[in-house]
Amino acid sequence: MPLTVFQPVIGCIYLDNTNPSDRLQQDHLELVAAIAGISAIALENAQRLPWLERENEQLKIEVSQERSLVGESPRMKEIYQFLGRVASADSTVLMEGESGTGKELAARALCQDSPRAGKPFMTINCSTIPEALLESDLFSHERGAFTGAKNAEKGKA
């Protein structure tokens, strides 16, 4: 019985009987055909797994290279040291600076080196949130907490 997944034969199941008086019946063939179909899919998946693992590792490397900080100047070395110290602390970090200075890149690097590395990372541009709503938008609010708070809302942080 051939093991096939979308045409190409990737193996076969050989069924043999040494007793000539016990012939294979139609239900035996149907059972082997069902087993062959299931086995072919499992074998195909097993063959693709190493390729998928390599592809996953390559994509992780590419993503980390795209978003990592670069530079060897004395100031950048200070930043790397600071991020290394802060990454191990369980605290909130506020990054300030002019637009385009790499705050988000530094935050990503900080998160990747912290115990929270496997957890979701979310960036928020606080300048797009009106100052009066910033606290409630980030940390949540209850219905009626201020004018316009019609429902309780969960914050982003």
DSSP annotation string for 76-98 = HHHHHHHHHHHHTS-S-------
Residues 10-34 pLDDT 10s: 889 988 888 888 888 888 889 999 9
Question: Cβ neighbours of residue 113 under 8 Å, at least 6 residues apart?
Answer: 83, 84, 87
Q: What is the pLDDT along the chain (157 residues), one digit of tens a residue?
A: 889 888 788 889 988 888 888 888 888 889 999 999 999 999 988 988 999 999 988 887 666 655 567 788 999 888 888 888 888 888 778 888 888 888 888 888 888 888 888 888 777 777 787 776 777 666 766 777 666 667 777 766 6
Three-class secondary structure of residue 59 per DSSP: helix
**What is the pLDDT at residue 42?**
92
Distance, in Å, from the CA atom of 18 to the CA atom of 117, rounded to the nearest integer, reads: 60
Pairing of strands 9-12, 2-4: antiparallel
Residue 141 amino acid letter: H
**What is the pLDDT at residue 128?**
80
Residues 27-55 pLDDT 10s: 888 999 999 999 999 998 898 899 999 99
| pTM given for the model | 0.45
**What is the pLDDT at residue 67?**
54
Distance, in Å, from the CA atom of 121 to the CA atom of 111, rounded to the nearest integer, reads: 7
